């Protein structure tokens, strides 16, 4: 643990900051129950509590270089197949913790008092780890001078939704972090899709997006018997292609078992109102993947849209289902090292805590021997760079 901590925290300018960072990570790994400052101090020494509090909440160390170092290390160690976006809604009592208010949380499916954030995870079949986090702040939060001052929110921070936070993270990672390009996997509503397509298309970022069944697409593939050019919701298009679906075997990384799922694919376009970068209505720019993941339902239950034109449908589906790996590691590893436990008022403190939680998560995964694949093991998914779209 100590060696990796020192490597990843080497960008911190002072030796005492690096020491407190290592102590905090040790506390995240070893403290029982919720990772409160009191619990962490009980592990590393109660006399350290005030110094740890200052190190997390007010010390002016930059978290982005630490996250970039972690991502580069994991890019080499676990050789990820995809970058997975995972949004996180954390119910909270009261209203003083930074970002907390009564709001609709997509991940919870209800209105509740909570804090929302987005994380970008590097994921292989063997392991996954978060490397970047962004805290979503509402317009009411950033518009209130008292709240901004109390949470020490920098002047340049503006209101952003979890989806906007995720896109900002992905673009920053793709453009400036020097990582091996991988497909981005995330769930997107119909309302958010134009924004995501515009940002990812402009930066030529490959993606596999889970979309809603109501999304309108333009069918353009005569080989699949869908008739001429027409606009229809993806649920109808996939349902009509059901007779052409094939069985795809895949590893359900959430339950550690092999599964077989009925899957079908088609080339589709999008109306110009949905795809801001389209060169004309219905241009066949995307691969649509539909899946019957619920064995009790004879209707398709998942729909995915990708700009990766050179991969077959089974490969795109297996990439999409890496979300199962992240869901499992979030609950089995990241929750255990305190990803939901920050209760401070400081914007900087939240980012510091999230950064050190990511390091603790990586140490927990790698110390168990997960993530590192022997060189002779055949890769189950294509791992060559996937840059840009086949448009």
Q: pLDDT tens-digit profile of 32-90?
A: 999 999 999 999 888 889 999 999 999 999 999 999 999 999 999 999 999 999 999 99
pLDDT of residue 227: 57
Instruction: State yes or no: pLDDT of 375 exceeds 80.
Output: no
CA dihedral 362, 85, 308, 259 (to 10 degrees): 80
Q: pLDDT tens-digit profile of 155-168?
A: 999 999 999 999 99
Residue 259: strand, helix, or coil: strand
Query: Quick one: three-class SS letters along 15-63?
Result: HHHHHHHHHHHHHHHHCCCCCCHHHHHHHHCHHHHHHHHHHHHCCCCCC
pLDDT of residue 277: 74
Instruction: Measure the CA–CA gap between 155 and 369, rounded to whole angstroms.
Output: 43
Q: Are the C-beta atoms of 361 and 71 separated by less than 8 Å?
A: no
Q: Are the C-beta atoms of 108 and 80 separated by less than 8 Å?
A: no
- Least confident among 63-72, 114-123, 140-149: 140-149
Q: What's the chain's average pLDDT?
A: 90
Complete DSSP assignment for 289-344: EEEE--TT-SS--EEEEE---SS-HHHHHHHHTTHHHHHHHIIIIIGGGTTT----
Instruction: Measure the CA–CA gap between 256 and 328, rounded to whole angstroms.
Output: 10
pLDDT of residue 318: 97
Residue 223 DSSP one-character state: G
**Partners of residue 84 on adjacent β-strands:** 121, 185
């Amino acid at each position: 643990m100590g060696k990796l901590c020192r490597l990843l925290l080497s960008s911190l300018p002072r030796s005492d900051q690096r020491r407190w960072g290592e102590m905090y990570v040790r506390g995240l790994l070893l403290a029982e129950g919720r990772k409160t400052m009191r619990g962490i101090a009980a592990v590393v020494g109660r006399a350290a509590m005030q110094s740890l509090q200052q190190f997390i909440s007010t010390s002016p160390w930059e978290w982005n270089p630490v996250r970039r170092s972690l991502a580069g290390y994991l890019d080499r160690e676990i050789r990820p197949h995809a970058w997975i976006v995972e949004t996180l809604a954390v119910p909270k009592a009261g209203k003083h913790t930074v970002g907390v208010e009564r709001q609709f949380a997509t991940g919870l499916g209800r209105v509740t008092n909570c804090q929302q954030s987005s994380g970008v995870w590097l994921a292989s079949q063997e392991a996954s780890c978060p490397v970047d986090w962004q805290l979503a702040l509402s317009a009411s939060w950033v518009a209130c001078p008292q709240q901004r001052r109390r949470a020490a929110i920098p002047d340049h921070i503006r209101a952003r939704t979890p989806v906007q936070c995720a896109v900002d993270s992905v673009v920053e990672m793709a453009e400036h972090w020097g990582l091996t390009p991988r497909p981005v996997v995330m769930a997107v509503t119909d309302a958010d899709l134009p924004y995501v397509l515009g940002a990812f298309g402009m930066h030529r970022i490959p993606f596999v997006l889970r979309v809603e069944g109501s999304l309108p697409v333009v069918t353009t593939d005569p080989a699949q018997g869908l008739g001429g050019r027409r606009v229809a919701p993806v649920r109808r298009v996939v349902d009509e292609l059901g007779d052409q679906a094939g069985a795809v075997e895949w590893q359900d990384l959430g339950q550690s078992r092999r599964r077989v799922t009925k899957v079908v694919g088609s080339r589709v376009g999008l109306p110009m109102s949905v795809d801001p970068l389209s060169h004309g209505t219905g241009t066949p720019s995307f691969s649509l993947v539909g899946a019957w993941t619920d064995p009790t339902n004879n209707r398709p239950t998942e729909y995915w849209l990708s700009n990766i034109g050179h991969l077959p449908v089974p490969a795109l589906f297996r990439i999409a289902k890496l979300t199962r790996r992240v869901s499992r590691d979030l609950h089995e590893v990241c929750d255990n090292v305190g990803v939901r436990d920050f209760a401070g008022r400081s914007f900087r403190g939240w980012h510091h805590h999230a950064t050190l939680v990511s390091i603790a998560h990586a140490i927990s995964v790698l110390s168990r021997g997960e993530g590192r694949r022997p060189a002779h093991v055949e890769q189950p998914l294509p791992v060559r760079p996937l840059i840009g779209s086949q448009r």
